[in-house]
Amino acid sequence: MARSPVSLHYILPHGRREAASRFAVGVVCGLVFGGTAGLKIAAELGVESAIGPTEMMLMGSAAASLCAWWALGFVMRAFEQNRFVRMLRNRSEENADGR
């Protein structure tokens, strides 16, 4: 139960610009990877013969769009908090000292 708010923090956009960028990334990702993702999901679930190509494309587009939408939110939060920048800076300082 306590992990739910943490997940929602990464999923929900914080403003119009972020929502628009996530929407654009989701649409593009769904269009580009929808067919391939749909084929993979249908093969894994064993439902290739039970559904048509339209449903397969729609299923793959939704999955690809959701994954891209969530990943973009996670990356934006990580860069907002400068975790990756601090980690890279620490590694370069450690490498410089170790030479």
Question: Is 27:65 a contact under the CB 8 Å cutoff?
Answer: yes
- Report the domain count for the chain: 1
Is residue 49 a part of any domain in this protein?
Answer: yes
Range of the domain at 69: 18-97
Cβ of 5: how many Cβ atoms within 10 Å? 8
Is residue 5 a part of any domain in this protein?
Answer: no
Is residue 13 a part of any domain in this protein?
Answer: no
* Residue 8: both structure tokens together: 């929602």
Is residue 57 a part of any domain in this protein?
Answer: yes
When pLDDT is averaged across residues 53-79 and rounded to a whole number, the result is 84
Question: Is 42:59 a contact under the CB 8 Å cutoff?
Answer: yes
Is residue 1 a part of any domain in this protein?
Answer: no
Is residue 12 a part of any domain in this protein?
Answer: no
pLDDT tens across 10-65, in order? 566 677 887 788 788 888 888 899 889 999 999 999 998 899 989 999 999 989 88
Full-model pTM: 0.62
Is residue 84 a part of any domain in this protein?
Answer: yes
Is residue 60 a part of any domain in this protein?
Answer: yes
pLDDT score at 85: 67
Alpha carbons 98 and 28: distance in angstroms, whole number? 44
Using the 8-state DSSP alphabet, how is residue 99 labeled?
-
